Amino acid sequence: MQSNSKPPVLALDGITKSFPGVRALKGVSFDVAPGEVHALLGENGAGKSTLIKIMSGVHTADTGTIKLDGREIAMTGPHEARRAGIATIYQELLLFPELTVAENVFMGHAPRTKWGALDWPAMRAKAQVLLDSLDIHDLDVAQVVGTLSVGNRQRVEILRALSQDARILIMDEPTAALTEHDVQRLFAIVRRLRERGVSIVYISHRLEEIFILADRVTVLRDGEHVATKAVKDTDNADLVQMMVGRRIESLFPKIDVPIGAPVLEVRDLVRMPQTRGMSLTVRAGEIVGLAGLVGSGRSELAQTIFGVTPAQSGEILIGGQKVSVRSVADARRLGIAYVPEDRGIQGLVRPMTVRENASLAVLSDVSRHGFIQRETEEKLANAAVRQFGIRTAGIEQIVNKLSGGNQQKIVLGKWLATKPKVLILDEPTRGIDVGAKAEIHRMMGELAGQGLAILMISSELPEVLGMSDRVLTVREGRIVAEFSRAEATQERVAEAMMGGTSHESSAA
Amino acid sequence: MSATEARAPKRLPLAPHEIVLVVILAIALAVLATLSDRFFTLDNLLNQGRLMTEVGLIAMPMTFVIVTGGIDLSVGSTMGLCAILLGYSWKNFGFPLELAIVFALLVGTVAGFINGWFITRLKVPPLIMTISTLALYRGLAEGISQAHSVRGYPEGFYLLGQGEVWGVPTQLWLLVVAIVIFAVILARTTFGRSLYAIGYNETGARFSGLPVDRIKLAIYTASGLMAGLAAWIFVSRVSTTRSDMGTGIELDVIAAVVLGGTSIFGGVGTIAGTVLGLLLIQLLKDGLALTGVKGDATIVVIGAVLILSILITNFAQRRREQGR
Amino acid sequence: MKYSLMALALGATLLSGNAFAAKWDGGDDLPTNPLPCDGGAGTMAAKAYDGAAVTGSVDKSGKPITLVDVPKLIGIGYFNATTKGMQDAAKELGNVKVTTDGPTEAKIDEQVKFIDNYITRGVDGVLFAANDPVAIAPVLKKALSKGVHVIGYDANSTPDAREWFVNQAQFNGIAKAMVDNLAKEIGEDKSFGIVTSTFTTPNQARWIAEMSAYAAKCHPKLKWLETVEAQEDNILSFNQASTLLNKYGDQLSGLMGMTSVATPASAEAVTRSNLCGKVAVVGLATPNAMKPYVASGCVKSVVLWNPVDLGYAAVYVTRAVVDGKLKAGATSVEAGKLGKLSVVNGSEILLGSPFVYDKSNINNFDF
Amino acid sequence: MSATIAQAPARKWRFSLSQEWLLLIGIATLFIVVGLINPRFVASRNLQSILLANAYVAVAAIGMSVVIVSGNIDISVGSLIGVLASISGALAVAGVPVFFAWAIPVVISILVMMLQGALVAYLRIPSIVVTLGMLSILKGGLISVTNGVWISGMPDSFHLAQWHLLDLFIAAEPGKQAAVPESLSALKPMFDLLTMPVLFMLFLTLGAAWWMRNTAKGRSVYAVGGNAEAARLCGIPRERTLMMVFAVHGLFTGLAAVLFATQPSVIQSTVPPNLELTIITASVVGGVSILGGTGTVIGSTLAAILIAAIGSALIFVNISPYWLRAAQGILILVTVLADIYRRRQRGLAR
């Protein structure tokens, strides 16, 4: 292992950090060698975020030392970290939507003319050089960031880190919001950076990525360091066991259930520009996987069925009856539920309590003549907490303070309270740790078993393949292929998603 | 284990900011009452209630609007327009007075509806929309009235603004009813819950199937209606109709709502807070005047109290969060 | 912008044409009573006392009394002058204490609240200058019913809401002075514009209506062009006056300022446009604000009563009422250095005829 | 995706241009149409009146735009201008050298605004609350202190707003119309237009636009207004940036107050009614997003001119004065709707 031979560029030793009431880190040690991809694993709450925040200067450690190139440094703020060449790419991309790519890259350290003014031409030129160095050719430095895809926004963040001559790049779940195609491009970029000698701390819940990309892996659990191993010395089951502390039988506990009559039928649904005549059928007890790139129209299709953006033409049938869905309220009444892709914005009202979120989609059920019946509402919320095993201090807990997995369970609970016939899940396990992921998959199986028709949108092909009875692929607003569970393989689905264009070549 | 049913500690009856307000109000009352023996009398307090009714009525829907993260600056102009049309339709169209009142309320409702329609349909930001109609509605009032005031209403008309029912100013009953209705709606109904949800996260509310646009349309319309009601009471109180009625009332209303702890960013606020804000402003104005402080100095005090009360709440909140 | 064009064109067709209306914009529609052209006294029918009576007041004749003065608004030169007159009178009398307090903007509800608070606080008398004659009436009646004497000055309320009103000058008298002076300065067949505060301000509306009636009767060829609103704001007044000058060019020979803010601002506009001598400015104003323009010869005459005297008289009248010296049916009242003032129109005390300041006497005044 | 990329270049440029083009076209149309109806409207004397009398609004709107871009708002600005004008006048009357009578109010303005900035930045009170409170304090305080006495008798040289460009070079005596040399007489109308307030408006607008676009500090305002958290991680602290924003706003407010105070020969020591609304309207009609993060000061200056020109134009086309305010309201609404329509067309609606 090349990484072990060189002295570490960054070494943390015996790091302890407490927050009021919580000990987030208990004597954790961690190091990164030059040109190494070091994966950091752990369930939510294991202390990963705290550790990277200490590395990037957002938090200060209570005890422990941080050494850069063997010299101990005092990390007093993000400024210090940046000066030390440590850059972080957070999960929630921190960009300025109204400003251009070039400006986003150079915000805070823009090139100046000799008069002290910003040197726009130089800024654009430098940004272009950075783009070229990473072989990115579909991004214009003058574009406004707000109009970019998620993948491109992330590239802007990476460019920003590189523009500051970062030697250590911390990436917090960089693939969580990416399409398969963008994931491949990210991998290419990461490899390129590694060749240049940049060290990368890589955090992901997708274990397969660790094996593709990382040199070493460190696992944290409950704020403690469990192990650091070379990737070649470990395997999937081993990692999961270290993370969870117990064995997980299967990530995709698919249960075979009898498939019934069609529940949801969609015919030639049109909503320009993203839904251009789509047809599909989901039957009772069936899980249909919908694969496609971001921007292919998969989420838009779901939102059209759900009434957020009502259809311009085409038919929706529920249980064989033609229905009209003009609003979310219509959809809800017809038994359509949608667990959206963006949990924080679309799925939940995060500053509200568990109780208030749990009842938000069924306010009419917990009220009489428009007055909310507090007891009914509490009963509903408590039932959801029990049924989905939501870890919370109580139903009066503010949702924002819960982990991603628990938040997702609340969204699920909120929509299942509407007693739907059709459940549309959009990226149901994005950014959720392994344990919770398995739990959600298990629930999906159970729900299908109860006769629910489930349409699942996912960018994670293993999830699509692992959970679906049938797989549909979407491209450019149309459904382009259908595979049975037996037919569906990673290659075939991916090829259908890309449409066999030259896209793939640039990713490799 | 995970699925705990243990309830979070019972909520305090009042939010932290409201406690701050109650304390300030109590101190102010105590000090002012010792300084002037005419201040803390039933007569004076009821009279103050009469004087704050218009601002109070408009502050109710304004609380709703601000809770959703919006704002309505056009209320003063709407009030002027309604007042003018009440008098104008009575005098020039020959409407019976009852009809003229209904007409004025209707005009207020339509004025609010127009704000709401542009805001929900064309997505004009509320501040910009209502800044425009602030000018427009006042302009209509001026144009229609041609600067003539309408006077000489029949005696019975003044009962609302100047009379008493069971020893309490008539309009105060209306205000109390409005406060109860709006408070119950905000705290107890699905509508109220929806307002908070919209204020915190409009997209999330939309994706939960709440009729966001219809709710917003409803509250801006309610804002117009209450401005119309305030216009009716105001005309009845001062016995005349002029196009400049209600000028600048929007700032008084917003000051009361904001002092009451409603967040200008949406999601936070209660009617109880707004009522406390109203009382504090009105009683400070009155009490200071009674103890010999001039009007201009009183404005200074109110400005300082506004900033200080929010400051204290912020500090208290931060202390509590750090203590966690 | 296409839309704004359309709106503009539409607006122009719909709303234009007021220049040919018989009456001047900004006047009210109450009956007018123009004075005879030759300067006679005009017809004034003797009228019985039509003011109200105070109930339940304590007899404080000769004893110290506390008064509150609530003008339309505080912070403008005119009411500063009336306040000064009141303080002068209080000092002379020795047994009167007057406080001036009021809203910072001329808003009717604010003024009502101020008076209401002072009634609660307990004063012996309220002096007021009404923002609206009707709107202020209920609170004044309340004062009367609580034994508080109520005396108006400058701007009247309805007579049944106060005891007496100290009238600075009859509306028709002011109107005659203004129009006669204008006609004298610009000539009988010339055109002019008016700068007023707002169309809803009662005194200004009354004056404009009276001027319109008087001009129709005595100066029929004088041509009114336009009235513009300028609040009580000197920058806006200046802008509006400039706009009139720019719009009408040579056509415009005179500007009338209806407030103590508008008149100096109009003079300033004329001065800055280098139109002194070509455009005459006539108007109501306090002498101090007009001194530079009168001195430069840009303004020949300013019409006004003495607001200091007005405030002074108001306090004397109140004292007389409290002492029982001024009762219904009286025909005159003693007012210190001002001498005997006569009672007119039932329950009004007349300060005198409007006064015309010019270069020769303006420096004798300082307010 | 490729479609977006194809039209990507120059989008930002076109966007920021058209924001201002819309207003410029509006102004031009207004002048042409009203000029055809009444040629005196476009006479240089009237143009001068319009520009001169509203230059201070435009200058104040520059500061307001900076504040709004940073995601805040200031409704105390009208009251502060009233207070500063009185201070300026009082200093001049008291015999303080004229330069200090101009400079001291500007310094006070910066300090007051920084105080408000501190409350917003460090104590995290929403700007609307801070400035609403300050509005009350300033408004009441001004009358308490001055008792509403008007200020007059300032020395001639105090009246900065009455200086012309040529005064600086030719006339020794400010305030008087300079004698224009023969050789330049053809240009006289232009020189007449360039009074001090207009020059201030021009240079401050261009200067501020340049600063907002081409300096790190200027861009940091957009950064904080667009995404305060992201800005912090770029080494741009929200707190210090907001302090700077309010200080800059204070500078422009102070200058606006001086232009305001040095115009009339009598200074009213009351707060100009609704001035804050006029200034905010100019910023907002000028295209500054009330949500923060976008907008330019050139737009706000053009909007200030447009609004002022509308007010004057309506008198020139003989709109009944009773309907003047309604017509103004409709025109503002139309401008706002045109802007929203335009954004929609370009898919930029939020």
B105-143: pLDDT as tens digits: 999 999 999 999 999 988 888 888 888 898 899 989 988
Contacts of D214 in chain A (CB under 8 A): 117-118, 120
Torsional sign, CA C192, C193, C195, C199: positive
Give strand ranges (E) for A119-250: 168-172, 199-203, 216-221, 224-230
Q: Are C258 and C197 in contact (CB under 8 A)?
A: yes
* Residues 6+ positions from A358 with CB-CB distance below 8 Å: A377, A380, A381, A384, A385, A395, A410, A413, A414, A417
Q: Are A264 and A281 in contact (CB under 8 A)?
A: yes
Mean pLDDT of A121-143: 86
Residue B34 is assigned to a structural domain of this protein = no
Nearest alpha-carbon partner for D16 in A160, A150, A120 = A120
The count of other CB atoms within 10 Å of the CB of residue C277 is: 9
Asked if D340 and B124 come within 8 Å (Cβ–Cβ), the reply is: yes
The count of C-alpha atoms lying within 13 angstroms of the C-alpha of A412, restricted to the half-sphere facing its C-beta, is 30
Three-state DSSP class for residue A22: strand
Give start and end residues of each alpha helix (H) in A224-353.
Answer: 236-244, 298-305, 328-333
Residue C156 is assigned to a structural domain of this protein = yes
Residue D202 has what pLDDT? 92
Residue B4 has what pLDDT? 37
Asked if B211 and A329 come within 8 Å (Cβ–Cβ), the reply is: yes
Give dist(CA C71, CA C81) in Å, integer: 11
Asked if A96 and D235 come within 8 Å (Cβ–Cβ), the reply is: no
- Whether pLDDT at A118 is above 50: yes
| CA angle, A237 then A242 then A243, to 5° | 100
Torsion angle of the four alpha carbons B202, B205, B207, B213, in this order, in degrees rounded to the nearest 10:
-70
Q: Over the stretch A95-108, which tens digit does the pLDDT of each residue have?
A: 888 888 999 888 88
Sheet of strand C65-70, all strands in order from the earlier edge strand to the far edge: C96-100, C65-70, C125-128, C149-153, C164-167, C348-350, C340-344, C332-334
Under 8 Å CB pairs connecting chains A and D tally to: 89
B10/C contact by beta carbon, under 8 A: no
Q: How far is D231 from chain B (nearest CA, A)?
A: 20
User: In terms of domains, do C83 and C139 share one?
Assistant: yes
Residue B195 is assigned to a structural domain of this protein = yes
Q: Do chains C and A touch (3 or more CB pairs under 8 A)?
A: no
Residue C76 is assigned to a structural domain of this protein = yes
Nearest alpha-carbon partner for C113 in B295, D52, A108, A67 = B295
Give residue B126's domain range. Answer: 42-247
Give dist(CA C123, CA B44) in Å, integer: 15
User: In terms of domains, do C278 and C256 share one?
Assistant: yes
Q: Which residues of D334-349 are buried (b: 16+ CB within 10 A; e: fewer)?
A: bbbbbbbebbeeeeee
**Two tokens, residue C39:** 């300067």
Asked if C8 and D30 come within 8 Å (Cβ–Cβ), the reply is: yes
Nearest alpha-carbon partner for B108 in B286, B312, B245 = B245
User: In terms of domains, do C222 and C327 share one?
Assistant: no
Interface chains of chain A (3 or more CB pairs under 8 Å): B, D
Mean residue pLDDT of chain B comes to 86
Three-state DSSP class for residue B324: coil
Model confidence at D8, pLDDT cuts 50, 70, 90, reads very low
| CA angle, A148 then A151 then A154, to 5° | 90
Nearest alpha-carbon partner for B268 in B191, B185, B197, B182 = B197
D314/C contact by beta carbon, under 8 A: yes
Three-state DSSP class for residue B18: helix
* Residues 6+ positions from A366 with CB-CB distance below 8 Å: A359, A372, A373, A376, A377, A380
Give dist(CA B78, CA B105) in Å, integer: 10
Residue C39 has what pLDDT? 67
C288/D contact by beta carbon, under 8 A: yes
Mean residue pLDDT of chain A comes to 85
**Two tokens, residue A496:** 């259908």
The count of other CB atoms within 10 Å of the CB of residue B178 is: 20
What interface predicted TM-score (ipTM) does this complex get?
0.82
- Whether pLDDT at D176 is above 70: no
Model confidence at D5, pLDDT cuts 50, 70, 90, reads very low
- Whether pLDDT at D311 is above 80: yes
Residue B13 has what pLDDT? 52
Residue B155 is assigned to a structural domain of this protein = yes
DSSP state of D181: P
Q: Are D154 and D265 in contact (CB under 8 A)?
A: yes
More confident residue, B66 or A490: B66
Mean pLDDT of C86-101: 90
Among A88-92, A176-180, A313-317, C64-68, which is the least confidently predicted range?
Answer: A176-180
Asked if B201 and A350 come within 8 Å (Cβ–Cβ), the reply is: yes
User: In terms of domains, do C224 and C275 share one?
Assistant: yes
User: In terms of domains, do C120 and C177 share one?
Assistant: no
Mean pLDDT of D244-253: 96
In chain C, the percentage of residues whose pLDDT exceeds 90 is 20
Model confidence at C87, pLDDT cuts 50, 70, 90, reads very high
Residue C47 is assigned to a structural domain of this protein = no
Contacts of D134 in chain B (CB under 8 A): 303, 307
Residue D109 has what pLDDT? 96
More confident residue, A182 or C160: C160
Three-state DSSP class for residue C177: helix
Residue C60 is assigned to a structural domain of this protein = no
* Continuous segment of H or E residues that includes residue A294: none
More confident residue, A126 or C25: A126
Q: Are D252 and D208 in contact (CB under 8 A)?
A: yes
Query: Does domain D13-345 correspond to CATH entry 1.10.3470?
Result: yes
Number of domains making up chain B:
1
Cross-strand partners of D267:
D151
Domains and CATH numbers, chain A: 1-85+167-247 (3.40.50.300), 92-165 (no CATH), 262-507 (3.40.50.300)
Asked if D162 and C272 come within 8 Å (Cβ–Cβ), the reply is: yes
- Whether pLDDT at C15 is above 70: no
Contacts of D219 in chain A (CB under 8 A): 99, 103, 107, 110, 118
Model confidence at D247, pLDDT cuts 50, 70, 90, reads very high
Listed as own residue / partner, the contacts of B92-97 with beta carbons closer than 8 Å and 24 or more positions apart are B97/B153, B97/B154, B97/B157
B88/D contact by beta carbon, under 8 A: no
Domain map (residue ranges) of chain D:
13-345
Residue A369 has what pLDDT? 87
DSSP state of D153: -
Three-state DSSP class for residue B14: coil
Among chain B residues, CA nearest to C118 = B290
Q: Over the stretch B220-230, which tens digit does the pLDDT of each residue have?
A: 999 999 999 99
Listed as own residue / partner, the contacts of C333-337 with beta carbons closer than 8 Å and 24 or more positions apart are C336/C89, C336/C92, C336/C93, C336/C312, C337/C92, C337/C312
Q: Over the stretch C197-255, which tens digit does the pLDDT of each residue have?
A: 888 788 888 899 999 999 988 898 889 998 888 877 888 888 889 989 988 888 899 99
**A42 φ, ψ to 5°?**
160, 155
State the best of D116, D149, D322 to mutate against chain B, taking most chain B CBs within 10 Å.
D322
Asked if A116 and D5 come within 8 Å (Cβ–Cβ), the reply is: no
Mean pLDDT of B152-161: 82
Asked if B124 and D329 come within 8 Å (Cβ–Cβ), the reply is: no
Q: Are C261 and C230 in contact (CB under 8 A)?
A: yes
* The one-letter amino acid at A233: D
User: In terms of domains, do C178 and C285 share one?
Assistant: yes
Residue C46 is assigned to a structural domain of this protein = no
Asked if A367 and B190 come within 8 Å (Cβ–Cβ), the reply is: yes
B300/D contact by beta carbon, under 8 A: yes
Residue C271 is assigned to a structural domain of this protein = yes
Pick from A82, A96, A112: which is nearest to D226 by CB? A96
Asked if B190 and A350 come within 8 Å (Cβ–Cβ), the reply is: no
Under 8 Å CB pairs connecting chains B and C tally to: 87
Torsional sign, CA D221, D227, D232, D237: positive
Q: Which of A185-189, B4-8, C141-145 has the highest mean pLDDT?
A: C141-145
Nearest alpha-carbon partner for B282 in B302, B254, B257 = B302
Q: How far is A273 from chain B (nearest CA, A)?
A: 20
Number of domains making up chain C:
2
Contacts of D340 in chain B (CB under 8 A): 122-124
Residues in chain C: 367
Model confidence at B14, pLDDT cuts 50, 70, 90, reads low
Among chain B residues, CA nearest to C199 = B147
Pick from C1, C199, C248: which is nearest to D322 by CB? C199
Pairing type for strands A478-484 and C223-229 reads: unpaired
**A75 φ, ψ to 5°?**
-95, 100
Model confidence at A47, pLDDT cuts 50, 70, 90, reads confident
D123/B contact by beta carbon, under 8 A: yes
* Residues 6+ positions from C312 with CB-CB distance below 8 Å: C85, C86, C88, C89, C335, C336, C337, C338
**Two tokens, residue A68:** 């850069």
Residue B12 is assigned to a structural domain of this protein = no
Residue B20 has what pLDDT? 85
D135/B contact by beta carbon, under 8 A: yes
DSSP state of C197: S
Give residue C98's domain range. Answer: 65-169+306-353
Cross-strand partners of C128:
C70, C152
Mean pLDDT of D216-229: 88
Contacts of A108 in chain D (CB under 8 A): 216, 220, 223, 231, 234-236
Q: Over the stretch C275-303, which tens digit does the pLDDT of each residue have?
A: 888 899 998 888 888 888 888 888 888 88
- Whether pLDDT at B35 is above 70: yes
Residue B320 has what pLDDT? 62
- Whether pLDDT at D11 is above 50: no
Residues in chain A: 508
Nearest alpha-carbon partner for D200 in D133, D287, D276, D102 = D102
Asked if B193 and A372 come within 8 Å (Cβ–Cβ), the reply is: yes
User: In terms of domains, do C252 and C346 share one?
Assistant: no
- Whether pLDDT at D348 is above 50: no
In chain B, the percentage of residues whose pLDDT exceeds 70 is 94
Residue B117 is assigned to a structural domain of this protein = yes
Model confidence at B293, pLDDT cuts 50, 70, 90, reads confident
User: In terms of domains, do C226 and C343 share one?
Assistant: no
